[in-house]
A and B are shown apart, each in its own frame.
Chain A
Amino acid sequence: MAESRLTALPESTLLTLADTCLLWGHRLSEWCGHGPVLEEDIALTNTALDLIGQARALLQLVALRRGDEVTEDALAYFREPEAFCNLMMVALPNGDYALTMARSMLLAAWFVPVWDSLAQGTDRPLANIAADAVKESRVQLRHASDWVLRFGDGTDESRRRIESALVSLWPYCDELLATTVDGTDQAERNASWRASIQATFDAATLSMPALPDAATNLLTATASASRLTLLAEMQSLARQHPGASW
Chain B
Amino acid sequence: MTTEAPEAVTPLFEVFVRSKQGLDHKHVGSLHASDAQHALTLARDVYTRRQEGVSIWVVPSNAITASDPALKSDNFDPMASKVYRHPTFYDIPDEIGHM
* Interface positions of A (Cβ within 8 A of B): 37, 39-40, 42-43, 46, 139, 142-143, 146, 150
Contacts and interface: CB of A to CB of B under 8 A. Distances in A.
A39 B49 contact: no
The 6 A-B residue pairs with the shortest CB-CB distance, nearest first, are A43-B45, A39-B42, A46-B45, A42-B45, A39-B31, A42-B46
B49 A40 contact: no
**Chain A interface mostly helix, strand, loop or mixed?**
helix
A127 B33 CA distance: 36
A162 to B, nearest CB: 16
A139 B31 CA distance: 20
Contacts of A42: 42, 45-46, 49
Contacts of A146: 37-38, 41
Interface residues of B, number: 13
A234 to B, nearest CB: 24
Interface in B75-99: none
B41 A142 contact: yes
B32 interface: yes
Contact of B32 (A39, A43, A143, A150): A39
B38 A43 contact: no
B49 A143 contact: no
Contacts of B41: 43, 142-143, 146
Contacts of B33: 39
Interface in B20-53: 31-34, 37-38, 41-42, 44-46, 49
Contacts of B31: 39
Contacts of B10: 37
7 contacts: A39-B32, A39-B42, A39-B46, A43-B42, A46-B45, A46-B49, A150-B34
A100 to B, nearest CB: 16
A39 B42 CA distance: 6
A178 B44 CA distance: 35
A9 to B, nearest CB: 30
A140 to B, nearest CB: 11
Given A39-B42, A42-B46, 20 more contacts: A37-B10, A37-B32, A39-B31, A39-B32, A39-B45, A39-B46, A40-B42, A42-B42, A42-B45, A42-B49, A43-B41, A43-B42, A43-B45, A46-B45, A46-B49, A139-B44, A143-B41, A146-B37, A146-B38, A146-B41
A40 B44 CA distance: 11
A193 B33 CA distance: 29
Contacts of A143: 41
Nearest to B49: A46
